[in-house]
Amino acid sequence: MDRGRRKIIKRCRPSPGLVAVWFKTVINPILENLEIELRFLHQRNWTWRYNAERLEFIRPVSTYVDPYNHPNMDQFVVVQPKIESAMKEHDDEVKSLAKDCSIFQKALEDSNELRETFLSQNVVAVLRDETFGALPKEHRVRLVAQYVVNSTETLPEHYSPSEFWKVCGNLFFRLREQPHFKPCWERTRHSGEKAGRATEGLMTMLKDVRLRFSFRYKVPPAPPRMGESEGGIAAY
């Protein structure tokens, strides 16, 4: 940390109004999204999307804050440098996870084993013309590879491949244990576990700061909803 930032931190005495803004525009939105992120990580569903080549619901922290409020986030991390470091750690682990998902996806797509599984008797017996809806044929292998990468056990009933995947999903999951794919799967799983730990650590730090600031500056952690009485806040 440079000397200029040290001076800012030393002199900073946030007002209750400023703390309330940090809660509303920075801390709470990040925590809400990290909660979602963590649920997916615990399920080993990395929310990888082959067509976008990214993780859909596991993203860099800054994307959880409205761009208009990024100056508030920048201000907040100046006075909370440890949280800034935790955010960077989180983002680095997310980046590593996305990279490993991409490698695993490509390994599956390019393999004979995945195509041979598609042509196996058990799979052919279940496949129908409407199984993948309007998805082009060249994308069907890629979609199934995505399901394997994400450990997608079930699909919503309204998804065209839901019945197919209910019957055949385990046949494709077995590919993860084959020597050609096992290192990719284990590396991806390890990256997911590291991302989960980074997410949990960041959440703990944010909750601790929010609780501390809430009592120190007499600001509720969450603002009242529209129409709720604010009488209790004055006495908080």
Select the more confidently predicted residue: 169 or 236: 169
| Mean pLDDT calculated for residue range 183-192 | 98
pLDDT for res 234: 40
pLDDT, tens only, 221-232? 987 776 655 544
Percent of the chain with pLDDT over 70: 91
Residue 145 within any structural domain of the chain: yes
Give the C-alpha separation, 150 to 45, whole Å.
Answer: 4
* Radius of gyration over every alpha carbon of the chain, rounded to an integer in angstroms: 23
CA contacts within 13 A on the Cβ side of 178: 16
Overall domain count for the chain: 1
- Domain range enclosing 120: 13-228
Residue 236 within any structural domain of the chain: no
pLDDT for res 9: 62
pLDDT for res 5: 60
3-state DSSP: the chain helix, strand, coil percent, rounded to 5?
70, 0, 30
Look-up of token digits 């979609």: 143
pLDDT, tens only, 148-163? 999 999 999 999 999 9
Residue 1 within any structural domain of the chain: no
pLDDT, tens only, 108-153? 999 999 999 999 998 999 988 889 988 998 899 999 999 999 999 9
Residue 7 within any structural domain of the chain: no
Residue 151 within any structural domain of the chain: yes
Q: Quote the pTM value.
A: 0.90
Q: Which two tokens stand for residue 131?
A: 């199984």
Residue 3 within any structural domain of the chain: no
